[in-house]
Structure 1
Amino acid sequence: METVDLNRYDPAQRAWTAAAVAKIKAEANRSADTHLIAVPLPEQWGIDLYLKDESTHPTGSLKHRLARSLFLHALCNGWIRQGSPVVEASSGSTAVSEAYFAALIGVPFIAVMAESTSRAKIELIEREGGQCHLVADPSTVYDVAQRIAAQRGGHYMDQFTFAERATDWRGNNNIAESIFAQLSMERYSDPEWIVATAGTGGTSATIARYLAYTGRATGVCVADPENSAFFPAWQAGDCQITTAVGSRIEGIGRQRVEPSFVGTGIDRMMVVPDAAAIATIWHLEDVLGRRVGGSTGTGLWAAYQIIAELIAQERTGSVVALLCDSGDRYTDKYYSEEWVVQAGLDLTPYAARLDGFFRTGRFA
């Protein structure tokens, strides 16, 4: 039998990939790290609370880190080709960031998302040069994105599968490494808890792995919104659990357990009512003078509950939560009283709990 030789080496494609990777690495090099903001708490509590402000990325959210990692991962795997589109299933922020990186390397980008996505996010995607394909049923975004990619000879990025694989959780300035570097000069440099939320699950997986890799005792708590499959699946140990209704909190909570959600690395989960999350971001605007998204409110509500527990146990320490994106993207949703009423959300009891917490340190 003669030797069979199939040579697909393409020097032009290899050169294009090298140039694309170099552009993304250069973008990372000129991007400063995000801030760690101290949230003022009563001094007598002996507790420090920080928000990792991911809204200061060039595309305005935590998803900028993810999109950079996903593009590098796909480029180095040979999945993104010159002139071929990148397609993503996204609830908004990831698509904004991916549109940015697609434009940076010169390929088309198509975002498949639910019709309920805020108009502000759609405009941001389009401003970055992306196209938006809206679907009525949020559960179909995966199949539609995969189909469009196949039809157009492009690459389906699939953040929900590759989020936890694309990020180097051992270091390389991932979000966990950044948090601990910024805490190094604080009085409680190793926090008691880091509170995250889950859309793909990639961020909580990265944080949990980094903590284990560096031998830290910090706990990882994931706050989950209503209608999400993550908490009931984690509670039951059954990754096949699904929900019938999508999350009202954009960017987090899924109707299925995504492949990037690594539940075994998580120490604690809380289900946070959507009304509590919205009440929290309204309250935070009074405290910090700035607006944040609903995912931040979900995580911060859980962080407040953890702080109240530390106070009740007469313990001191620090807690870190994530400021995922700016509230400017949600002026027509979470910051609209009309939207809140139409959504059937009563913020009053949760606003009262927040006021009581900051007066007494009790979260009841």
Structure 2
Amino acid sequence: MTIHRPSQPHASTDTLPFADLCLDCSALLSGADLKEQAWTKEAIALLTGDGRRSADTHLVKPNFPGLPGIDIYFKDESTHPTGSLKHRLARSLFLYGICNGAIRQGTTLVEASSGSTAVSEAYFAQFLKLPFIAVMPRSTSPEKIAAIKRFGGRCAFVERAAEIYDEAIRIAAETGGYYLDQFTFAERATDWRGNNNIAESIFDQMQGEVHAAPAWVVMSAGTGGTSATIGRYIRYRGLDTRLCVVDVEHSAFYDAYRTGNRDVTCATGSRIEGIGRPRVEPSFLPAVIDHMIKVPDAASIAAMHVLSERLFRRVGGSTGTNFFGLCWIAACMMRAGETGSLVTLICDSGDRYASTYYDPDWLKENGIDLDPYRRRIEAFIDRGVDGL
């Protein structure tokens, strides 16, 4: 087919310069394009530098006398610059958006979050000098809200957890911004094959331990992205390790796993911030999970208190969920006469929950009695008394 220039409709292609054969003969890169390209290159370099400095966190090994033959490890994600596991996710989401061309110089960033992801995203937004707005339930802990504002972010609140998605989409459209959407992109923004992701870091750090290949990795689910990364990595590397995901009250994940129905919902929002969702998030992949359990909120918070005392520092509620699930797996192993190692995560610091999970008045107002679970957990890890 002969291509004609609009200004010379009868010219022969034989006499035209090669570049003029294209319908759009504008300059390849304008000054603005070159400036944007330079910003993108600099932004990726900054994010990559943060990854080199902070990606590998400690693997903590406390001693629990009641669990002979079972070694317990905690991957301490609270030591990231923004204090939580979500630091990894936020960096991946930023790189994903920038490399896809969706995040550019001056782009307003919007996220739907229960707090910790928004804290980390506010940090990176400030790092790159980009405006950031977090859409969160009004019940989000004051400590997280203060952290977001400290990093220069703004907060918009909704009454119900299920309302954060539509409000984030609305604000992004209104501001001409970009919705980071952790619940959709968490499982694809991270390279699950390795590249120093959390799974690769865990298994590398376990080399040289008595039971180098964990029998189980135990993980709670917020977006589902971390469990997806770990489950995929285990399969990709051909490992014998199994993955147990622990769900909480007021969450749709466990029912979706049990029934295979991704349309299940939960009308009440989770009380354990950062995990449990009112709907099944796109990043939640049941097929990579080997076993799933659901635990009461009182068990999560009691486990959080017990572990904080044993580590001599406070951990958050989702870490308590992880710890209780790990104790349940350990009890199953002991009943079967099995030995091995178990790995879970310290997701964030308990300092973010001083006014909630560590406040006796808050616990009383929410009808949460920790003592029965606390006694059972302590008896198990100290004396091996299986009451879980």
TM-score by length of 1: 0.97
Match of 2:384 among 353, 360, 364: 360
1:256: which partner in 2? Answer: 279
Distance in 2 between residues matched to 1:91 and 1:43, nearest whole Å? 35
2:57: which partner in 1? Answer: 34
SS in 2 for 1:319: strand
Match of 1:310 among 333, 338, 354: 333
Q: What letter is aligned with 2:47?
A: I
Q: What letter is aligned with 1:292?
A: V
1:232: which partner in 2? Answer: 255
Distance in 1 between residues matched to 2:82 and 2:252, nearest whole Å? 28
Q: What letter is aligned with 2:214?
A: P
Q: What letter is aligned with 1:353?
A: R
Distance in 1 between residues matched to 2:111 and 2:236, nearest whole Å? 31
Give the CA deviation at 1:44: 6.5
2:42: which partner in 1? Answer: 19
2:14: which partner in 1? Answer: none
1:122-174 C-alpha deviation (Å, 9 max, x unpaired): 00011111111111121111111111111111100000000000000111110
- Kindly tell me: are residues 144 and 44 of structure 1, through their superposed partners in 2, closer, same or farther at Cα, counting changes over 3 Å? closer
Is it true that 1:5 corresponds to 2:29 in the alignment?
Answer: no
Greater shift after overlay, 292-301 or 6-15? Answer: 6-15
Give the CA deviation at 1:314: 1.3
Give the CA deviation at 1:32: 5.6
Is it true that 1:130 corresponds to 2:153 in the alignment?
Answer: yes
SS in 2 for 1:52: strand
Distance in 2 between residues matched to 1:220 and 1:210, nearest whole Å? 11
Match of 2:289 among 238, 247, 266: 266
Is it true that 1:215 corresponds to 2:215 in the alignment?
Answer: no
Q: What letter is aligned with 2:328?
A: Q
1:203: which partner in 2? Answer: 226
1:270-327 C-alpha deviation (Å, 9 max, x unpaired): 1010000011111112211111000000111010011111111111100001100000
Distance in 1 between residues matched to 2:248 and 2:241, nearest whole Å? 23
TM-score by length of 2: 0.91
Q: What letter is aligned with 1:261?
A: F
SS in 1 for 2:61: strand
Distance in 2 between residues matched to 1:335 and 1:31, nearest whole Å? 28
Q: How does 1:37-186 map to 2 (within 5 A)?
A: 37-42=60-65, 45-186=68-209
- Kindly tell me: are residues 32 and 167 of structure 1, through their superposed partners in 2, closer, same or farther at Cα, counting changes over 3 Å? closer
1:316-356 C-alpha deviation (Å, 9 max, x unpaired): 10000110000000000000111111111111211121122
Q: What letter is aligned with 1:5?
A: D
Distance in 1 between residues matched to 2:23 and 2:278, nearest whole Å? 47
SS in 2 for 1:150: helix
Distance in 1 between residues matched to 2:54 and 2:202, nearest whole Å? 16
List runs of 5+ in structure 1 lacking aligned partners. Answer: none
Match of 1:319 among 320, 342, 359: 342
- Kindly tell me: are residues 134 and 361 of structure 1, through their superposed partners in 2, closer, same or farther at Cα, counting changes over 3 Å? same
1:228-258 C-alpha deviation (Å, 9 max, x unpaired): 0000011000000001101000000000000
Tell me which stretches of 4 or more aligned residues in structure 1 moved more than 4 Å. 1-4, 6-9
- Kindly tell me: are residues 27 and 6 of structure 1, through their superposed partners in 2, closer, same or farther at Cα, counting changes over 3 Å? farther
1:59-99 C-alpha deviation (Å, 9 max, x unpaired): 00000000000000100000012112110001000000000
Distance in 1 between residues matched to 2:357 and 2:108, nearest whole Å? 33
Give the CA deviation at 1:361: 4.2
Distance in 2 between residues matched to 1:199 and 1:32, nearest whole Å? 20
Confirm or deny: 8 A CA contact 2:55 2:196 kept in the other structure. no
Is it true that 1:241 corresponds to 2:260 in the alignment?
Answer: no
Q: What letter is aligned with 1:190?
A: A
SS in 1 for 2:135: strand
* Higher alpha-carbon Rg: 2
Q: What letter is aligned with 1:144?
A: E
Q: What letter is aligned with 2:89?
A: L
Q: State the aligned residue count.
A: 364
Confirm or deny: 8 A CA contact 2:66 2:385 kept in the other structure. no
Distance in 2 between residues matched to 1:216 and 1:363, nearest whole Å? 31
1:186-232 C-alpha deviation (Å, 9 max, x unpaired): 00000000001111000000000100010001110110010100000
- Of all paired residues, the percent bearing the same amino acid is 56
Give the CA deviation at 1:29: 1.9
Is it true that 1:295 corresponds to 2:318 in the alignment?
Answer: yes
1:18-64 C-alpha deviation (Å, 9 max, x unpaired): 11111111121222610000121227611100011000000000000
